[in-house]
Amino acid sequence: MLRQCGQFATLPALAVQIIEIAEDPSSTWEDLRQVIAIDPAFGARLLKLVNSPFYGLLRPVGTLREALGLLGLRAVKNVAISTSLAKLFRGGKVSAAFNVSELWTHSIAVATAARMLSQSTKVSPDEAFLAGLVHDLGILVELQSRGALFGSMMERLDEEDELTFRCAESSTFQTTHEMLGRSLCELWRFPASLTFTAGFHHRPWELAEAEQALPALIHVADVMAARQNLGYSRTVETRDLKPEMLRLAAIRECDVAAVEVALPEAVHEACRILSN
C-alpha cells in the first residue's frame, strides 16, 4: 500500500534537509538558516509560529535568526514536518461523514491537547505536538493507495454506528491505520517514539513500559478531541478515560479538566497557524 502511494509517501526535500541538520551534532545555526532561506514561505511560517500565543513571548520577533534562536533545533524540525504534513491533508469529501480537512482538524486538536497536557509530564511539548499530528497518518495511506475501497469503507461506517474504525479497516484492508502509520514513520526515518505512537495509540499498554508514555498521552488527547467534536473523531473508540490510561500517560484528572476548558480556543489558534 505504501508503494502505491507514490509521491505521498515521500517527505518533502526541505523537511528532510532540516531533519538531517537537526540530527547532526556538527551542524550550525548558519547551516539551518541557509536551508530555510531557500523557502521564504517556510521562513514566514516560522516567524508566525514564534510570534503566536504558542510561545507567549513578551516582544515580537522580526528576523529568522531570532526565531531560530528562540525555537531551537527540535522545534524548527517539528515545524518543518508539520508544514509538510499540512499539505498531505488537503482534499474534499470522501463520504457523507468524512472530509480529509476534518481529519487534519482532528490531528491538530489531538496535537494541541497533547502539547498542553505534556506541561505536567516529562514528555517534551514539541514532541507531544508532532506525535499528535502524525498519529492518524495511516488513514491517508489507505485513502491514497485504495481510494475506492476506502470510500466504500467510510460509507459502511456511516451506516453502522456500532462498527469501530479499526474493525472496518481490518475487514477491508487486512490491516489498520496504526500499522500503516507505523510503517510510514519508519519509511520517513522518524524517531522511534513517533513511530510507536502512530502504531500503538489505541493500545499503548502493548508496548514496553519505557515506550508507553507518549502513545498513552496521545490516546488521552485523542479522546479529549473526540469529546469536544474537534474534527473527524470516528476513529476514537471510547469517550471514557480510564484511570489506568491516565497512569500510563502520567496525567492527573485535574490536568485533563483544565486542558479541556482551554482546548477549543487553543485548537482554533493552532489551525490558524498550520492551515494557512
Q: Note the pLDDT tens digit of each residue in 33-45.
A: 888 888 887 778 7
- Collect all residues with Cβ–Cβ distance below 8 Å to 273 and sequence separation of at least 6: 45, 48, 49, 52, 54
The set of cell numbers assigned to 260 is 479541556
Average pLDDT over residues 216-228: 96
Residue with cell 528532510: 16
Contact status, residue 206 vs residue 200, Cβ threshold 8 Å:
yes
pTM attached to this predicted model? 0.89
**CA-to-CA dists, residue 39 to 51, 64, 103, 268, angstroms:** 19, 12, 27, 26
- Collect all residues with Cβ–Cβ distance below 8 Å to 61 and sequence separation of at least 6: 47, 50, 51, 67, 70
CA 190/CA 170 separation, integer angstroms = 25
Residue 276 has what pLDDT? Answer: 58
- Collect all residues with Cβ–Cβ distance below 8 Å to 123 and sequence separation of at least 6: 213, 214, 217
Name the 3-class secondary structure at 98: strand
Residue 190 has what pLDDT? Answer: 86
Residue 106 has what pLDDT? Answer: 96
Contact status, residue 123 vs residue 213, Cβ threshold 8 Å:
yes
Contact status, residue 138 vs residue 177, Cβ threshold 8 Å:
yes
Contact status, residue 256 vs residue 117, Cβ threshold 8 Å:
yes
The set of cell numbers assigned to 263 is 482546548
CA 117/CA 159 separation, integer angstroms = 34
Residue 181 has what pLDDT? Answer: 95
pLDDT over 80 (residue 140): yes
Contact status, residue 125 vs residue 212, Cβ threshold 8 Å:
no
pLDDT tens digits for range 223-271 = 999 999 999 999 999 999 999 999 999 999 999 999 999 999 999 988 8
Element holding 114 (H helix, E strand): helix 100-118
pLDDT tens digits for range 104-134 = 999 999 999 999 999 989 898 888 999 999 9
Half-sphere exposure of 31 (CA within 13 A, CB side): 13
Residue 134 has what pLDDT? Answer: 92
pLDDT tens digits for range 180-190 = 999 999 988 88
Element holding 93 (H helix, E strand): strand 93-95
